[in-house]
Amino acid sequence: MERAHVRAWPALETARIEGWLWRASGGGSQRANSVSTVDFTGIDPAAAIDAVEARYRALGTVARFHTFDDTQPPGLAALLEQRGYQPTEGTITLFKRPMPGPAPSDIEQRDTPWPGWIDTYTGEITPNRREVNTRILAAIPAPRMFFGHCRDGHIVATALCVIDAGCAVVECVATRAGFRRQGAANRVMRALETWAAAQGADLLGLQVVSTNIPARTLYENLGFRAGASNRFWVRDPAGYRIAGR
């Protein structure tokens, strides 16, 4: 599932550093501007960190690492702390088995994002993520499906599902401010789950900021359960913290 999440949100620029995936995109997306530490093929993690920092320094940006429960090598978090890195935003990966069922009739779904979908999604994220995230959306790998809940001819809630290696990854869940707590996100998620089940996905998963209690409550009510955790690491979390994902 962690690999599926990495592939589902492709950075605009990438490189392999001793098995780690170095990512840069600009803007405010932490995932798209951090090093994914799923795999490590080297023998000297300190030297690999040096190489990571050199690449980010060349771009004039902060070095950021993305760790999870099975980060490689296992002692990376301690090594980062020794070098002055501190954890910033934490996320939790929630899982469930996708169950087939009837999709709500007021959900529009397409394999590419459309203007109404993009307007709703980008309107609910921080301004420093809008341009870059729109470019990332154009590179989302197939199979994928974009979902929008319609009211009075307008999209008021969005979600995206990307299938990878039997995992269905949920992204871009957003609801317009005036339509929250009215079941819009619930309906989008039900349609998404129906589609994921039809694709033969074994697991449905999403990552949510650990302190976002309303979102966690929504997903737990839909049957999701916590199964893993993630952290972003920077040297100066106070100076470089970015809201959202």
Is the per-residue pLDDT at 132 higher than 60?
yes
pLDDT (tens digit, 9 = 90+) per residue, 147-159?
Answer: 999 998 899 999 9
CA 170 to chain centre: 8
Is the per-residue pLDDT at 243 higher than 70?
no
pTM: 0.91
Is the per-residue pLDDT at 91 higher than 70?
yes
Q: For strand 20-24 and strand 167-175, is the pairing parallel, antiparallel, or unpaired?
A: unpaired
Q: What are the residues facing 162 on neighbouring strands?
A: 144, 169
Is the per-residue pLDDT at 198 higher than 50?
yes
> What pLDDT sits at residue 163?
98
> What pLDDT sits at residue 236?
66
pLDDT > 90: percent of the chain: 87
Distance CA 46, CA 228 (A): 26
Question: pLDDT averaged over the chain?
Answer: 93
Domains and CATH numbers, the chain: 2-91+230-240 (no CATH), 95-228 (3.40.630.30)
Is the per-residue pLDDT at 244 higher than 70?
no
> What pLDDT sits at residue 103?
79
> What pLDDT sits at residue 185?
93
Is the per-residue pLDDT at 245 higher than 50?
no
pLDDT (tens digit, 9 = 90+) per residue, 205-242?
Answer: 999 999 999 899 999 999 999 999 999 999 864 444 43
- For residues 58-66, average pLDDT: 95
> What pLDDT sits at residue 239?
46
